[in-house]
Amino acid sequence: MWDTLIIQPFTNVLLAITMVVKNFGVAIILFTLLIKLITYPLTAKQLKQTAAMQKLQSDPRYKKMMEKYRDNKEKLAEEQMKLYKETGVSPFGSCLPTLIQFPIIIGLYQSIIKAMAATPLEIFRLERLIYPFLDANKILPIQNRFLWMDLGQPERLPILGIQIPILAIIVVATTWLQSKAMEPPSTGVGDQAAAMTKSMNIYMPVLMGWMAYSLASGLALYFLVSNIATVVQYSAQGRANWSRLFPWIKTKSPEPIPTPVVVIPDDEEEDEEPEAPKPASKPSARAAVKQQRPQYKRKK
Amino acid sequence: MKKPLFKVILLFLLAAVLLAGCAMGPRAESAPGLSADDSAVYVSYQQHLYKVDSKIGTELWRFPATGSVQVVLYAPALLNDGGVFVGDLANKFHKLDPASGAEIWNFSEGKGWFQAKAATDGELIVAPSSDRSVYALNADGSLKWKFSGEFGFIAEPLVLEDAVIVAGLDHYLLALNKDTGELLWKTELKGALISAPAYDPASASLFVGSLGNELVSINSVDGSINWTFGQNGEITAIYATPLILEDSLLFADESGKIFSLKLSTGTVDWTLDAGGEIVAGILPLEDSFVIALEKGELRAYKLSDRSPLWTRTLDGKLYTTPVVSSDKIVVAVTKGQALLQAYDSAGNPVWSFTPAR
């Protein structure tokens, strides 16, 4: 089922691209970009939902609620759900697009592995996957050479007699770049999510680099293109925070999310109304804070 | 402004150092490589080459003694006087002591996997590699010559009197000068060549099947094609070396059809449908032959009239040509409960071998 619906079509598209461009490395790049393009609406939706959730979590009312019901998890969950409902933010809104994308990404990865068949058994399995209208004899074997790489082998570039894993280092760099660009703003001191993100920013590049170093360079090429495409997608959405990466570069703040209008009933006014912001010294900063906060209307 | 840059550079350097020290093993899946002599079978599978007593199915030694994820072996071992020769997917080719499995020497100049069985004429050892090279080694493991092509070599070579015959994934059958490695001739076929050709010294002919749905007879002297079978769509892909039996050529295609052709003309003697996909080659016995079906069936047929003798079903897949040792038929199983299963000539199970952890 998985092979028929995901792996087989993916592998055939990859092989068809290879037949057209006559280069497996270029085919991996184009195929990865194609999949990224197809899944872009899902990515965009996920980014939007994630940003809305982050914004909500930095809201004073949310913080106050967290503080107030710190020792009553049940009530906290109830109030959180109420707030999500009121603001129109779905707590699972960013999960669903990810869940849909997940099999596609796994399928993409597996189809690249399948197409790089190097042993008789792998070639036999690949041959069985190829659709009859694609001539397997013209496709096989796949030319694995791309630039200085053998895409079926881990990549090393000999420089002055030393085998340097250039691609793995670039994968480390781009994974770190991607993590930093996607890092959500911290909601304050003791923000566990921010702490976790910070450690992920270190572990993920090392893990991806380790995989790029050890696995066939065709997969490392896929990691690299995928990383770059993700950063570009983030930038296109206005979500990449370049000033976090390069503090000397002045960039615009991430695009604001449309502020939800929340209606607060009179009897909940005491509990629900956020604290008034402290007067800011600069009017522009105050305006920015105001822009990011939900607007409240009194129920009549 | 300089601090973040410094941190970035430091992180990359740290990553580079870490990466250099902790590499995963090669990501490849293949079938067990099987070979045999009179008293033992040798099977390469995953982290080891095992020598197994073919009378009782016990392990005699394994190489390397301690397994590592970075060293994977699938190539069948070449058994020669005074040595067991086997390559691995860590790009090394080894000569081992047949009695103890201890390494005598290794050749580490390869840049790709050694996944095919090597060949020898008793002096020269020829080892094909996935790094698009064929390495010819002297008896002491030093490099005599190297031939480089456009694609990897995963088929066992054939060492003739003056030439080394190499089947390539690039659809070409090549003849190389045995002393220098220079190309003597090359003949293009319709598909990739996965297995070694068979050689008939009487007619100086080579017989090789390809993934291009053909079986071709080639003159070993000049590379000219004697005849081609399969031009009318009679066969599908061929993964194993054909078998020469007197004046007949036996082979199985991927679809599960077994053919017997006249050696001299390529005309069909008989055909037989084995009833399942076939990747492995045919094992000849005294008056019968055995074929392993991919789905896990081992079938024996009488040679004279092709009547079925027995069928055994194994737990796992069969991609490897069975071997005979100590009068036992030994089959290597992929993803089965046992790695090896031995039968007597009547198809009765004798022993099975599962490597101890």
- pLDDT, tens digit (0-9, with 9 covering 90-100), for B103-134: 999 999 998 899 999 999 999 999 999 999 99
HSE value, Cβ hemisphere, 13 Å, CA-based, for B69:
7
Which residue from B minimizes the CA distance to A206? B15
Tell if the CB–CB gap between A120 and B192 is shorter than 8 Å.
no
Out of A154, A169, A213, the one facing B12 most closely (by C-beta) is A169
Report the distance separating Cα A138 and Cα A124, nearest Å.
Answer: 15
Instruction: Please report which confidence band the pLDDT of residue B27 belongs to, taking 50, 70 and 90 as the band edges.
Output: low
Which amino acid does the sequence have at B34?
A: L
Cβ–Cβ contact B346 with A under 8 A: no
Evaluate whether B340 touches B324 at the Cβ level (below 8 Å): no
- Is the interface score ipTM higher than 0.90? no
Residues 217-276 of chain B whose Cβ lies under 8 A from any Cβ of chain A: 237, 239, 254
The whole-number average pLDDT for the span B301-322 is 96
A259 pLDDT above the threshold of 60: no
* Per-residue model confidence (pLDDT) at position B227: 98
Whether the bond between B349 and the residue before it is cis, its omega within 30 degrees of 0, is: no
A interface test, pick of B8, B19, B68 with most A CB neighbours within 10 Å: B19
Residue B88 at interface with chain A, using a CB cutoff of 8 Å? no
Look at strands B323-325 and B328-332 and give their pairing.
antiparallel
**pLDDT(A271) > 70:** no
- The Cα of B293 is separated from the nearest Cα of chain A by a number of Å equal to 14
Min mean pLDDT across A125-129, A204-208, B33-37, B205-209 is at: A204-208
Rounded Cα distance, A65 and A61, in Å: 6
Is B133 in CB contact (< 8 Å) with chain A? no
Residue A199 confidence (pLDDT) above 60: yes
pLDDT of residue A288: 43
pLDDT at A191: 58
- Interchain proximity A248–B1, CB inside 8 Å: yes
Q: Is the pLDDT of residue B302 over 90?
A: yes
What DSSP designation does A145 have? E
For A156-179, what is the mean pLDDT?
88
Q: Give CA separation, A217 vs A24, A107, A147, A166, B335, in Å.
A: 12, 18, 11, 11, 27
Q: CA–CA separation, B38 vs B54, rounded Å?
A: 8
Of A118, A169, A213, the CB nearest to B23: A213
> How many alpha carbons lie under 13 Å from residue A92 in its C-beta half-sphere?
4
Residue of B20, B23, B154 lying closest to A120 (CB–CB):
B154
Which of the four pLDDT bands, split at 50, 70 and 90, describes residue B357?
confident
Give CA–CA dist A129/A111, Å, rounded: 10
CATH 2.40.10.480 is right for the domain spanning B109-188: yes
Cβ contact, residue pair B154, A140, below 8 Å: no
Lowest average pLDDT, out of A86-95, B76-85, B248-257, goes to A86-95
Q: What's the confidence (pLDDT) of residue A120?
A: 92
What is the structure's pLDDT at B20?
Answer: 47
Contact across the interface for A123 and B211, Cβ inside 8 Å:
yes
Q: B90-122: string of b/e by CB count within 10 Å (b at 16+)? A: bbbbbbbebeebeeeeebeebebbbbbbbbbee
| Residues of chain A positioned with their CB less than 8 A from the CB of B11 | 172, 176, 202, 205
Amino acid identity, residue A242? W
Angle made by CA atoms B313, B357, B82, in degrees to the nearest 5: 85
Residue B289 near chain A (CB below 8 Å)? no
Please give the residue of chain A at the shortest CA–CA distance from B151: A143
Inter-chain touch A172–B12, beta carbons under 8 Å: yes
Residue partners of B332: CB distance under 8 A and separation at least 6: B31, B32, B33, B34, B43, B45, B318, B320, B322, B339, B340
Contact check, Cβ <8 Å, B30/A127: no
Determine the residue among A24, A129, A153 to mutate to test chain B binding: the one whose Cβ has the most chain B Cβ atoms within 10 Å. A153
Query: Lowest-confidence range among A5-9, A270-274, B17-21, B228-232?
Result: A270-274
- Asked if B239's CB is within 8 angstroms of A214's CB, the reply is no
Whole-number average pLDDT of chain B? 92
How high is the mean pLDDT of chain A? 76
Report the candidate in B95, B81, B79, B82 with the shortest Cα–Cα distance to residue B43. B79
Mean pLDDT of B86-106: 96
Mutation target for B interface from A213, A217, A222, A246: give the one with most B CBs within 10 A: A213
Calculate helix-pair angle for A60-68, A73-87, nearest 10 degrees. Answer: 160
What's residue B95's pLDDT? 97
Query: Where does the pLDDT of residue A12 fall: very low under 50, low under 70, confident under 90, or very high at 90 and above?
Result: very high
**Distance of residue A173 Cα from the nearest chain B Cα, in angstroms:** 7
Which pLDDT value is given to residue B14?
Answer: 60
Rg (CA), chain A: 24
Share of chain A above pLDDT 70, in %: 71
Q: How far is A200 from chain B (nearest CA, A)?
A: 14
- Of the listed ranges A179-193, B198-212, B290-304, the one predicted with least confidence: A179-193
Confidence of residue B304 (pLDDT cuts 50, 70, 90): very high
User: What is the end-to-end Cα distance of chain A in Å, rounded?
Assistant: 57
Contact A141 B18 (CB under 8 A): no
Chain B residues touching residue A210 (CB < 8 angstroms):
18-19, 22-24
Q: What is the pTM of this model?
A: 0.78
Residue B139 CA to residue B29 CA, distance in Å, equals: 30
Task: Give the H or E element holding residue A163.
Answer: strand A162-164
Task: Report chain A residues whose CB lies below 8 A from the CB of B33.
Answer: none
- B211: nearest CB among A137, A165, A173: A137
**Measured between beta carbons, which residues in chain A are less than 8 angstroms from residue B276?**
none
Residue A177: which pLDDT band, with cuts at 50, 70 and 90? confident
Q: For residue A162, what are the β-bridge partners?
A: A159
The per-residue pLDDT for range A187-198, each reduced to its tens digit, is: 555 556 667 777
Contacts of B18 in chain A (CB under 8 A): 206, 209-210
pLDDT value at A136 more than 50: yes
pLDDT at A292 over 50: no
Confidence of residue A76 (pLDDT cuts 50, 70, 90): confident
Which of B13, B22, B27 best probes binding to A when mutated, by most A CB atoms within 10 angstroms? B27
> In sequence order, what DSSP letters do the residues of B282-301 get, joined into one string?
EEE-SSEEEEE-TTSEEEEE
Q: Higher-confidence residue: B15 or A155?
A: A155
Distance from CA of B202 to the nearest CA of A (A): 30
Q: Please report the pLDDT score of residue A244 as a whole number.
A: 66
**pLDDT on residue A249:** 61
Question: How many angstroms from the chain centroid is the CA of residue A181?
Answer: 10
Instruction: Give the tens place of pLDDT for each residue, A208-258.
Output: 888 888 888 888 899 899 889 988 888 887 776 666 666 666 555 555 444
Q: Which of B211, B38, B93, B68 is nearest to A142 (CA)?
A: B211
